[in-house]
Amino acid sequence: MASLIGTIAQLVEQRIENPRVPGSNPGSTTKSQLTLAFFVSKHGVALHWHQPNASTMDKPSNIRPVNHTIHFHTPEQAANRETLWNQHLSGAGIRILADERFRHEPIYNPLASIWDESPKCFIPAGEKSKSLEVAQQIWTWLDNEKTDRGHVLVIVGGGTISDLGGFVASTYKRGLPFIIVPTTIVGMIDASIGGKNGINFGHFKNQIGLFQLPDLTYVDTRFIASLDALERTNGWMELVKHSLIADSALWTEIRDLDIHKTGAIEPWIQRAALIKKEIVASDFMDKSERKALNFGHTLAHALEWKAKEDGITLGHGMAVGWGMIWSIAWSASVYPEQSDSFSQVGQKIRAWLEAIPNDNQSDWLVTLNPSDLWTAVLKDKKNRDGIVLDVMLEGIGRATWDRPLSLIQFTSIWKQVFQ
């Protein structure tokens, strides 16, 4: 099968070459299949994307209703938040699905204003909850609460709760409207944006699920303050990834950050979330540009599988961090002119990963055999016709995807980086 190589930089270039003016203070990008429009107004940043006439599309499988608002809770936008929230909830009955921890931990307005009087279902966070059994438990609760399609499911939690909740909402009575209030960094910049939801099945993550956008993603960065060092790092790694694949200026601004300082991460959330939104808008069904978001994830998934086998606790973001270090070294082997800047990136990421107290992941990595990991790499969803396809960087802020990877390359880079 011919491999399709593209770059986010091409997308950005297209935006610069093809400016359109859909709003009062806009920037926009025109792609062959989707039009993305930014509406920046005093009401905040609302991004809507819509598709041109279906007859102009060459891939019918890409035809989807795509319309998603992300609202960022900032002091400047405080006056408008109630309006926006009410607009989505006006007249609708509410059901709340929340991470178990919010039985006791603080939630904030406008969520707090609907909290007490709405029926709630609490589910513990974690991969174990992304199961058919737990989905069934929530469907039963929705039944017991006499839920119909006039109700809105408000999902409060990190990526595990929003993946599960989005799946439950999208399938219950052929789909309830749903709002995600992400409470982790991963949730805010990644899981709540882009419409992928799902549960784990068999031995595989996210095996059953849908592409279904929430009606609203409401990002309130006040939730970040209570995240521990590990969760901050997990989320930070995905944010770093967004910068490396699409925004070199962002990387320059964040590369020296002490992420454990109070308030250090919050200012970067909106920018990172919009990177994800822009990439998704260009390729909702994951056929091209969206694949760049998998940067660092091939090895990450293999490491997560191995960690589970070895009884090691390894957060997804941490695994992505190690995966990015490997991918950057692989990129340097193909683009040697970028070696210096790539190796600086690798060192910065390693420093963030190794700053977690009492963590001995580097020692564990040294013990691993790349051939074992390769068996997991061979099962990666991005592969085609038995060929392992992965994402690499051409430069900082420029990703390319569907790049074939052999066991020999995988092993030699592994030895170079981890042994």
Which stretches of the chain bind ligand NAD, using CB under 6 A? 99, 101, 125-127, 130, 157-161, 163, 183-184, 186-187, 190-191, 194, 196-197, 205-206, 223, 226-227, 231, 234, 316
Give the integer Cα–Cα distance in Å for 179 and 174: 16
- If phi > 0 it is left, if psi is from -120 to 50 it is alpha, else beta; for residue 222 that is alpha
Pairing of strands 204-208, 216-220: unpaired
User: Considering the complex, what minimum distance in angstroms separates the CB of residue 102 from ligand NAD?
Assistant: 8
* 81 half-sphere exposure, CB direction, 13 A CA radius: 18
Smallest separation, CB 177 to ligand NAD (Å):
18
Q: Is-contact 275 356, C-beta < 8 A?
A: no
Q: How far is CA 201 from the centre of its chain?
A: 20
Q: Are strands 44-50 and 35-41 parallel, antiparallel or unpaired?
A: antiparallel
Integer Cα distance of 96 and 132 in angstroms: 19
Residue 7 or 184: the one with the smaller Cβ distance to ligand NAD is: 184
Q: Which residue is nearest to ligand NAD (CB)?
A: 159
Residue closer to ligand NAD, measured from CB, 277 or 338: 277
Backbone angles phi, psi at 94, to 5 degrees: -120, 140
Reference 153, options 168, 163, 143; nearest CA is: 168
CB closer to ligand NAD, 194 vs 370: 194
Cβ 100 to ligand NAD, closest distance in Å? 7
| Residue with smaller CB distance to ligand NAD, 211 or 418 | 211
Say if CB 206 and CB 252 are below 8 A apart.
Answer: no
Instruction: Tell me the DSSP string of 72-139.
Output: EE-GGGHHHHHHHHHHHHTT-EEEEEEEGGGGTS---TTHHHHHTTS-EEEE--SGGGSSHHHHHHHH
CB of 184 to ligand NAD, least distance (A): 3
Task: For residue 218, give the amino acid letter.
Answer: Y
Which residues are registered as beta bridge partners of 35? 30, 50
Compare residues 135 and 413 and give the one whose CB is closer to ligand NAD: 135
247 burial level (CB within 10 Å; 0-12, 13-18, 19+): buried
Report the nearest approach of ligand NAD to the CB of residue 196 (Å).
Answer: 4
Residue with Cβ nearer ligand NAD (44 or 194): 194
Nearer to ligand NAD, 123 or 329 (CB): 123
Read off the tokens for 61: 């499988």
Contact 320, 238 (CB under 8 A): yes
Q: Residue written as tokens 């910068």?
A: 243
Q: Measured from the CB of residue 148, what is the shortest distance to ligand NAD in angstroms?
A: 26
C-beta closer to ligand NAD: residue 183 or 270:
183
Q: Residue 173 or 222: which CB sits closer to ligand NAD?
A: 222
Q: Which is nearer to ligand NAD, 34 or 332 (CB)?
A: 34
Nearest approach, Cβ of residue 130 and ligand NAD (Å): 6
CB of 413 to ligand NAD, least distance (A): 25
Q: Considering the complex, what minimum distance in angstroms separates the CB of residue 99 from ligand NAD? A: 5
**Judged by CB, which is closer to ligand NAD: 247, or 304?**
304
Evaluate whether 391 touches 327 at the Cβ level (below 8 Å). yes
Q: Rounded to the nearest whole angstrom, what is the least distance from the CB of residue 209 to ligand NAD in the complex? A: 8
What letter represents residue 216's amino acid?
L
**278's tokens:** 């822009």
DSSP 399: E
- In this structure, what token pair is assigned to residue 284? 């909702």
Task: Find the shortest distance in angstroms from Cβ 197 to ligand NAD.
Answer: 6
